[in-house]
Amino acid sequence: MPREITYREALREGLDEELAFDDNVVIIGEEVAEYNGAYKVTEGLWKKWGDKRIIDAPISEAGFIGMGIGASMLGIRPVMELMFFSFAYVAFDQMMNNAATCRYMSGGLIHVPIVVRGPANGGTNVGATHSHTPENIFANMPGLKVVSPSDGYDAKGLIKSAIRDNDPVYFMESTVLYGEKCEVPSNDELEDGELVIPLGKAKVKREGADISLIAHGRAVVTSLEAAQILEEKHSIHAEVLDLRSIRPLDEQAILDTVRKTHRAVYIEENKPFCGVGAQISSMIMEQAFDDLDAPVLRITSADAPAFYSPPIEELQLPTAEEIAERALSIC
Amino acid sequence: MRGNFLKEMAEKKKSKPTAPYADDPINANLTDEEKIDMLRTLVRIRRFEQTSLKHYHSGSIGGFLHLYIGQESVAVGSISLLGDDDHVITAYRDHGHALSVGMGMDECMAELFGKKTGCSKGKGGSMHYFAPDKNYWGGHGIVGGQTPLGAGLAFALKYQGKKGCCLCYLGDGAINQGAFHEALNLAALWDLPVIFIIENNGYSMGTSQARSSAFPEEGLAARAKGYNMDWDVMEGVSLYEIRAGVQKAITRAHEESRPTLLEIKTYRHKGHSVADANAEKYRTKEEIQKYIQEHDPIDFWKHTLIEEGVITEDDYKAINKEAGDEANAAADFAIKSPFPDESEIFDDIYWEVDNNTAAGRTGRHFFHK
């Protein structure tokens, strides 16, 4: 019987294993220790690892993330939790200037092995200030890496790679996915004895030959539902490619699926203007124009701040039905 | 009548005519050689910057040039106290700190000229000098942005069980940035061995203190009270006074792992940057001249050492000439050095790419062309 755990538990296992793997790993964030995590990702870790390794921070994102960046320069590997990635904006100078550019401006003398992780999603009726999806904004900055896992298996394997990485990695999760279960093998079931997934490797989550649905984060889950609809109602076999990591980007996997199906849709819960899909569709146009049988489509959240009213906010985000319908328009 | 400056100071303080704080334990045991070394560093910083100014005006140096002239005693005095596990981080007026920690004039000058031989290979410029091998973590361009980093360096030292501290310098303008207050709170809350040193030169760029900061009569550093942090205010002309005050904070950091907020009063002779054409508009000529003539830290230290019989006027002239020659040689080195290659644009962005690791080879990292 394969082991199934939630996305939240998978992340926690990854964190716990890295705390054991390297004494320099510390977890710092609001409510991560005694409160057991605002979203319970770090539940139990303070009890197990104590005050030195798991640290409750005051509500002071610029301060504690900047502090983590400084500490990382001297060899600490801080894993900073943002209760919401929306709060990254009060730490923006630290995250964009100090984390991303110190290496460059020092001519390579410094590196910043920090992870900043937390949920980056809308769809939970918390209003615009708590619903930002800044993956495109941070991926715009050379020097940063941006990761967005869509299930627990990837979440565990990717968080371990992110912590071991020697560059700053911004790891964007989803509160909507935290409770979702999936198969995550325990270490004794694995040949290597642990689950580590390299950054920059996309994954085909469903094979198909007629159209490529390319996505990251929770949009992958929605795309898988759309692929099911396309198959059942229209006999169209959609391939679903999960980027997993936005920067570095698995360009080859994108080109491979486009060359296989000749049709591509990019789906994300990000905004459309200069969104991740804009980058990907431009890249497909530049490198696989002759392979395309139709224009590349982009499906994003509505180009508006997140609406509070629950039934209306639902309409702002991509749905499986919308994806299926738009996909049909180019098939 | 500058020779009488020391006596006048002593009279003011109603003490015997030895320099104030000369008898402080941290100063009493200084050897003549150590005192001369500090004089040499003060003069080297000044000659370096005067030379760089000349080349800035001739168009060989781009961007901004924030000169430290007039403030040299702050970096020289405080950094002279540091040991192997003590670290330094500062803002963009960083040449003085760089030379004080032992960076060479050649690499610093070449950086200003944007050359490949610069300390940051021409990628950082005047505001972004770094030397991690000398515990020097920059050189940061955003006002106040370095203060959380300073707390972080102290966090790392404490985490690793080292008996060290971090001197984190900032200007008086930075005390109104949120990041600074957040850093103060974290440092006091978590007992971090960091010493924040406000180099108070009286002006946040062109805006005087009175027009930019709300603070009590005791001084800017009194803001530390709100964070339950020790603090002190001192004059920045005398190396003795700076060393005595900063040493107390270092001892507190080393022995109790407690932070301190220090305010050292100083004055910049030049504008905010060389591009600051208003340098004589928001301050009067008379004010600037008064500080240059009566409060110049190099003059003060020179006369202190002459009155102590440690050096003669001729010794000073020799030190001055040597520093000037060194600065000119550094400029020659910079001029003769090559510019970076275009191919270097994509180096030093990702550690994993630079080191050609599996992670650095997986996926596309750069998206130009």
Residues of B with Cβ-Cβ distance to A58 under 8 angstroms: 185-186, 189
Contact A64, A58 (CB under 8 A): yes
Q: Where in chain A is the domain with CATH 3.40.50.920?
A: 203-328
Domain count, chain B: 2
On whether residue B18 sits in a domain, the answer given is no
Distance of alpha carbon B267 from alpha carbon A223, whole angstroms: 63
Residue A26 with chain B: CB contacts under 8 Å: 159
Q: Are residues B344 and B264 in the same domain?
A: no
CATH fold of the domain at A4-189: Rossmann fold (3.40.50)
- Closest residue, chain B, to A244 (C-alpha): B363
- Closest-CA residue to A297 (of A257, A266, A251, A276): A266
Per-residue model confidence as pLDDT tens for chain B (369 residues): 344 555 565 555 444 457 889 999 999 999 999 999 999 999 999 999 999 999 999 999 999 999 999 999 999 999 999 999 999 999 999 999 999 999 999 999 999 999 999 999 999 999 999 999 999 999 999 999 999 999 999 999 999 999 999 999 999 999 999 999 999 999 999 999 999 999 999 999 999 999 999 999 999 999 999 999 999 999 999 999 999 999 999 999 999 999 999 999 999 999 899 888 667 789 999 999 999 999 999 999 999 999 999 999 999 999 999 999 999 999 999 999 999 999 999 999 999 999 999 999 999 999 987
Query: Residues B134, B266: one domain?
Result: yes
SS3 B13: coil
Same domain, B247 and B363: no
* Rounded Cα–Cα distance for residues A163 and B248 (Å): 38
Of the residues B350, B353, B369, the best mutation for testing chain A's interface (the one with the most A CB atoms within 10 Å of its CB) is B350
Length of chain A as a residue count: 331
CB B200 within 8 A of CB B264: yes
Q: What is the pLDDT of residue B280?
A: 76
Chain-centre distance for alpha carbon B132: 16
Mark whether B225 and B351 lie in a shared domain. Answer: no
Yes or no, beta carbons of A97 and B145 under 8 Å apart:
yes
**Of residues B150, B350, B351, nearest to A70 (C-beta):** B150
Could you tell me if B361 and B318 lie in one domain?
no
Same domain, yes or no: B329 and B346:
no
CB pairs under 8 A between A and B: 191
Among chain A residues, the shortest Cα distance to B352 is held by A166
Q: Rounded to 5 degrees, what angle do the CA atoms A128, A35, A38 make?
A: 20
The verdict on residue B1 lying in a domain is no
What is the DSSP pairing of strand A169-173 with strand A115-119?
parallel
Alpha-carbon gap: A141 to the closest alpha carbon of chain B (Å): 10
Sort out which chain A residues have CB atoms less than 8 A from B358's CB and list them. 198
Check whether residue B280 and residue B348 sit in a common domain: no
How many angstroms separate the CA atoms of A321 and A160, rounded? 34
Q: Assess contact for A313 and A122: CB atoms under 8 A.
A: yes
CATH number where B270 lies: 3.40.50.970
In which domain, by residue range, is B165 found? 23-333
Q: Are B211 and B356 found together in one domain? A: no
Q: What is the pLDDT of residue B7?
A: 59
> In this structure, is residue B13 part of a structural domain?
no
Please judge whether B160 and A110 are an interchain contact, meaning their C-beta atoms are less than 8 angstroms apart.
no
A62 and B352 within 8 Å at the Cβ level: the answer is no
Asked whether B96 and B89 are in contact (CB, 8 A), the reply is no
Per-residue b or e along B232-262, where b marks 16 or more CB atoms closer than 10 Å to that residue's CB: bbbbbbbbbbbbbbbbbbbebbbeebbbbbb
Q: Is A65 on the interface with B (CB under 8 A)?
A: yes
Residues B294 and B369 in one domain: no
Q: Which residues 5-24 of chain A have a CB within 8 Å of chain B?
A: 24
What is the DSSP annotation of A283-321?
HHHHHHGGG-SSPPEEE-S-SSPPPSSHHHHHHHS--HH
**Is 90 exceeded by the pLDDT of residue A25?**
yes
Nearest to B148 among A66, A74, A103 (CB): A66
Active site amino acids of A = 61, 130
CATH 3.40.50.720 fits A203-328, yes or no: no
- Residue percentage of chain A with pLDDT more than 90: 99
- The answer as to whether B249 is a domain residue is yes
Residue intervals of chain A classified under CATH 3.40.50.970 are: 4-189
Tokens (6 digits) for A187: 């270490």
Structure confidence by residue, pLDDT tens digits, A197-215 = 999 999 999 999 999 999 9
Q: A36 in contact with B at a CB cutoff of 8 Å?
A: no
This complex has an ipTM of: 0.96
**E strand or H helix that includes residue B321:** helix B313-336
Examine the domain organization and report whether B110 and B73 are in the same domain: yes
Calculate how close chain A gets to B147, using CA atoms only, in Å: 8
